[in-house]
Chain A
């Protein structure tokens, strides 16, 4: 069920393919580059299968989906054992607070347990579980007002700028020496990710850190795959810019 502002946002994304509308340049680029369906899309079409159908098979293999949906307690406990570490990591990264993340994780399993009959097999069961957890985490973030420091418009300003299709500021290669120290690098990247607006941060966590597929992330967040791709690209562009001043080679 999508209500209020979320419904408006959801409809906007569904219609536009992205919360931030793809630019005219993007459409023009698609025309110029004669974009074909991606390899994954072609494979899905040729095999006659859908990613969701395959995903549920895999889910059933590892989790015994039928037992889970039939209310088997052991199957539910197995779900908690199997998914808790990864789901906890995702929630911690969204919230930045271990104690709150543990509470949200527990609430996620409680809601999943009580709402099991609302699972419609339209996605992997774990995708559905993560969607509950992510929604609860983001609601908690809004409630506690631990908001990210950047606004959506600032993400836009962190993207590269072009004039007549060419870079306005030429990127300077990063210095491997400055990137060599792992703990310092992790500190800088952590700080940069934490600055991203909630929507962008969540997508970076799910795609680039946890390496879920674009389609899985789209289902977890209830947005289109196109919207995931657009936001991920902009999030990476913003992160690149935030890190640039730390890693760039000094010009001679």
Chain B
């Protein structure tokens, strides 16, 4: 069965690693159509290179999301409103 899948990939009947790689973002976003997702997952099941790459790709996204550590100054709004009053006709009413 696995040999059959590999032959399919080699003769271009199913996507190879390079083609699968182009659709990682859409796969992660869950926006691939059913047929493409099935082809993608079939490739992932048999490929020793794409599976770790996909794991790393997902980890990269998760770790980037963790970088949510900017400290917002407590007087940010107050300073902004004061700046508006100084530099414009705010408040108009």
Taking Cβ atoms with an 8 Å cutoff, the residues of A that contact B are 25-26, 28-29, 32-40, 71-73, 76-77, 80-81, 84-85, 88-89, 92-93, 98, 102, 105-106, 109-110, 113-114, 160, 162, 164-167, 170-174, 179, 182, 185-186, 189-190, 193, 204, 208-209, 211, 214, 229, 232-233, 236-237, 239-240, 243-244, 247
A145 to B91, CA, bound (A): 36
Asked whether, in the complex, the Cβ of B65 is within 8 Å of the Cβ of A209, the reply is yes
Report chain B residues within 8 Å CB of A76: 90
Report chain B residues within 8 Å CB of A172: 52
Taking Cβ atoms with an 8 Å cutoff, the residues of B that contact A are 12, 15-19, 21-26, 29-33, 35-36, 39-40, 48-50, 52-53, 55-57, 59-61, 63-70, 72-73, 76-77, 79-81, 83-84, 87-88, 90-93
Partner of A204, one of B15, B52, B64, B68: B64
Asked whether, in the complex, the Cβ of A105 is within 8 Å of the Cβ of B80, the reply is yes
A237 to B64, CA, bound (A): 12
Number of A-B pairs whose CB atoms are under 8 Å?
Answer: 171
Asked whether, in the complex, the Cβ of B64 is within 8 Å of the Cβ of A32, the reply is no
If the complex has contacts A29-B22, A208-B61, are A114 and B88 also in contact, measured as CB distance less than 8 A? Answer: yes
Report chain B residues within 8 Å CB of A179: 59, 63
Partner of A233, one of B24, B48, B67, B92: B24
A49 to B17, CA, bound (A): 37
* B91 CB → nearest A CB, Å: 4
A166 to B31, CA, bound (A): 24
- In the complex formed, the residue of B with least CB distance to A229 is B25
Asked whether, in the complex, the Cβ of B64 is within 8 Å of the Cβ of A189, the reply is yes
If the complex has contacts A84-B76, A93-B70, A239-B64, are A165 and B19 also in contact, measured as CB distance less than 8 A? Answer: yes
Partner of B16, one of A34, A166, A173: A166
Report chain A residues within 8 Å CB of B67: 93, 186, 189-190, 193, 209
Asked whether, in the complex, the Cβ of A25 is within 8 Å of the Cβ of B22, the reply is yes
Partner of A106, one of B25, B32, B59, B79: B79
Report chain A residues within 8 Å CB of B52: 170-174
* B82 CB → nearest A CB, Å: 9
Report chain B residues within 8 Å CB of A33: 15, 19, 23, 35-36, 39-40
If the complex has contacts A38-B31, A182-B66, A236-B57, are A110 and B83 also in contact, measured as CB distance less than 8 A? Answer: yes
